[in-house]
A and B are shown apart, each in its own frame.
Chain A
Amino acid sequence: MNNYTDTSRLADFVQGFRALMPLWLGGAPVAVAYAYAAKQAGLSGFETQFMSLTVFSSTTQLSILQAMGGSFLSYALNGVIINFHYLLYGVALTQRYKLRRWERILAAFLMSDGAYGVSQTRTTSFSYFLGAAVSMYTVWNVFTALGLLLHPLVASLSWAHLEFSVPLIYFALLVSAVKKRVDLAVAIFSVVCTLIALRIGLGGGAVLFTGIVGAAFGVWMTRK
């Protein structure tokens, strides 16, 4: 008998939506900062919001702004490199949940580091992940719009160092993911790998490089 009803799906969705809400504190300032940077780069309000609605990736959107005036190939390569770890998240999610075709497409579109991280913290259902993903999509787009509206005011908040909330939120998620000594070893190894990758000029590819090498190091450390 299938006990997983629409009511429990909705309850899981709401729980996931709420679980991600603390991460709004990290996502909202980045969305405002993106809107500010986009306006400074000369994008219209519609173009700025359209990117948030369709691309939905802070690093990809900011990298498009940085590469403005370049070729489509440069935008596309940036997008693929920055999103590479999402491919691996997809593999992990399909192992964890039994997903239908439309659920896979929806999850791929709405995927974010925050939603993936929150859904890994305990035993969850796909509805829980979806709630967390929609939560981040909502805050990202609402705060992009607010950033456009409050464009002049944001310039006066430079004293607050809101950009520091980005590494803080990633670090808080990292701390919650590190449970054993081998996890800590992988985290330290990954920090060193990233520093090397940045020093040799990998730039945006540093996350891709470290993601694969760091996880492979963990697999090697736990070999039988």
Chain B
Amino acid sequence: MSGIILAALGVAALTLVFRLVGFFRVVPSSPELERFSHFLPISVLAAFVTSALYRQQEQLEIKFLALLLAAFIMRRTRQPGLAVLLGLIALWVMGWLGL
């Protein structure tokens, strides 16, 4: 068995055990925990967007414009797929126009 297969199995097992801590931990329900659970996806998603853009800093201005357009489409249609598609098309068009 190759080293990378063993590493994949090891990481998969370890991360599964770590995830299960959350699933099997007996946590008494509290208003603070509920509010924490509400805000967690917002803070994590904001972190993902920021760190992804931090790693892709070329054409940052037109990427911001494409993100704004995607936000507008998302607000109006609630369709993430459409928002992503139109955001990508906006990036291609603005890049093609040399903005």
Q: Which A positions have Cβ atoms within 8 angstroms of B?
A: 21-26, 43-44, 47, 50-51, 54-57, 60, 64, 68, 72, 75-76, 78-80, 83-95, 99, 104-105, 107-109, 111, 113, 116-117, 120, 160-178, 183, 186-191, 193-195, 198, 206-207, 210-219, 222
Contacts and interface: CB of A to CB of B under 8 A. Distances in A.
A66 to B, nearest CB: 12
B21 interface: yes
Contacts of B54: 194-195, 198
B61 interface: no
Contacts, number: 269
Interface string B69-91: 01100110011111111011001
A75 B66 CA distance: 34
B47 interface: yes
B18, B43, B84 — most chain A CB neighbours (10 Å) = B43
Contacts of A194: 46-47, 50-51, 54
A219 B47 contact: no
A72 B4 contact: no
Nearest to A164: B91
